[in-house]
Amino acid sequence: MPNVTQGLRAAGPFGHPPIVAGYVSRSRPVPRSFDDPLWVVVPSHSVERAYGPCAWPAIHGNTIPTQGTPVWLGFDTDGFPIVLSWTGTHS
Protein backbone atom coordinates (compact mmCIF):
# COMPACT_ATOMS: atom_id res chain seq x y z
CA MET A 1 0.00 0.00 0.00
CA PRO A 2 1.45 3.43 -0.91
CA ASN A 3 2.34 5.96 1.76
CA VAL A 4 -0.30 8.68 1.22
CA THR A 5 1.20 10.90 3.94
CA GLN A 6 4.12 11.83 1.68
CA GLY A 7 1.71 12.82 -1.10
CA LEU A 8 -0.37 14.94 1.24
CA ARG A 9 2.70 16.73 2.56
CA ALA A 10 3.87 17.49 -0.96
CA ALA A 11 0.45 18.91 -1.89
CA GLY A 12 0.37 21.56 0.88
CA PRO A 13 0.93 25.25 0.13
CA PHE A 14 4.51 26.46 0.55
CA GLY A 15 5.66 23.00 1.65
CA HIS A 16 3.27 22.79 4.61
CA PRO A 17 1.12 19.71 5.00
CA PRO A 18 -2.52 20.60 4.37
CA ILE A 19 -3.51 19.54 7.93
CA VAL A 20 -1.25 19.30 10.99
CA ALA A 21 -1.70 18.53 14.68
CA GLY A 22 -0.86 21.22 17.19
CA TYR A 23 -1.99 22.80 20.43
CA VAL A 24 -3.10 26.21 21.69
CA SER A 25 -0.01 28.24 22.56
CA ARG A 26 0.99 28.26 26.22
CA SER A 27 2.89 31.55 25.85
CA ARG A 28 0.25 33.65 24.03
CA PRO A 29 -3.07 34.86 25.41
CA VAL A 30 -6.02 32.52 24.87
CA PRO A 31 -9.27 33.88 23.47
CA ARG A 32 -11.76 35.36 25.90
CA SER A 33 -14.57 35.37 23.35
CA PHE A 34 -15.41 33.74 20.03
CA ASP A 35 -14.21 36.86 18.20
CA ASP A 36 -10.67 36.68 19.63
CA PRO A 37 -7.86 35.05 17.63
CA LEU A 38 -6.04 31.88 18.62
CA TRP A 39 -2.30 31.13 18.48
CA VAL A 40 -1.26 27.56 17.69
CA VAL A 41 2.03 25.70 18.18
CA VAL A 42 2.83 22.88 15.76
CA PRO A 43 5.54 20.79 17.47
CA SER A 44 6.58 19.08 14.22
CA HIS A 45 7.50 22.55 12.90
CA SER A 46 8.62 24.54 15.95
CA VAL A 47 7.76 24.74 19.64
CA GLU A 48 9.15 28.29 19.78
CA ARG A 49 7.10 29.91 17.00
CA ALA A 50 3.30 29.98 17.15
CA TYR A 51 1.09 30.27 14.08
CA GLY A 52 -1.45 33.04 14.26
CA PRO A 53 -3.50 34.82 14.85
CA CYS A 54 -5.82 32.08 13.63
CA ALA A 55 -9.57 32.09 13.16
CA TRP A 56 -11.15 29.17 14.99
CA PRO A 57 -14.59 27.51 15.04
CA ALA A 58 -17.02 27.79 17.94
CA ILE A 59 -17.84 24.08 17.79
CA HIS A 60 -18.35 23.27 21.48
CA GLY A 61 -21.23 25.53 22.50
CA ASN A 62 -19.91 28.10 25.00
CA THR A 63 -16.63 26.28 25.70
CA ILE A 64 -13.51 28.27 24.75
CA PRO A 65 -10.15 26.53 24.22
CA THR A 66 -7.49 26.89 26.90
CA GLN A 67 -3.70 26.85 26.68
CA GLY A 68 -2.46 23.45 25.56
CA THR A 69 -5.77 22.36 23.98
CA PRO A 70 -5.11 20.00 21.02
CA VAL A 71 -6.11 21.41 17.61
CA TRP A 72 -6.06 20.46 13.93
CA LEU A 73 -4.60 23.24 11.82
CA GLY A 74 -5.03 23.62 8.07
CA PHE A 75 -3.54 26.04 5.57
CA ASP A 76 -5.40 27.90 2.86
CA THR A 77 -4.03 28.30 -0.66
CA ASP A 78 -2.06 31.39 0.44
CA GLY A 79 -0.44 29.52 3.33
CA PHE A 80 -2.49 31.17 6.09
CA PRO A 81 -3.23 28.89 9.07
CA ILE A 82 -6.84 28.09 9.96
CA VAL A 83 -7.95 26.08 13.00
CA LEU A 84 -10.20 23.35 11.64
CA SER A 85 -11.10 21.62 14.89
CA TRP A 86 -10.11 21.61 18.54
CA THR A 87 -10.68 19.30 21.48
CA GLY A 88 -13.30 20.39 23.97
CA THR A 89 -16.39 19.47 25.92
CA HIS A 90 -19.69 20.90 24.74
CA SER A 91 -21.27 23.35 27.17
Q: How many domains does the chain have?
A: 1
The reply to whether 9 falls in a domain is: yes
Tell me, rounded to whole angstroms, the distance of Cα 54 from its chain centroid.
8
Please work out, in degrees rounded to the nearest 5, the angle formed at the alpha carbon of residue 23 by the alpha carbons of 48 and 33: 110
The reply to whether 45 falls in a domain is: yes
CA-based torsion, 25, 28, 30, 35: positive or negative: negative
**Which residue type occupies 51?**
Y
pLDDT digits (tens, 9 = 90+) for 32-67: 998 998 999 999 888 889 999 998 888 888 899 999
Band (6; pLDDT cuts 50, 70, 90):
low
Separation CA 63–CA 65 (nearest Å): 7
CATH number of the domain residue 55 falls in: 2.40.50
The secondary structure element, H or E, covering residue 14 is none
The reply to whether 42 falls in a domain is: yes
Please give the residue range of the domain that contains residue 74: 4-86
pTM for this structure?
A: 0.76
What percent of the chain stands above pLDDT 90? 42
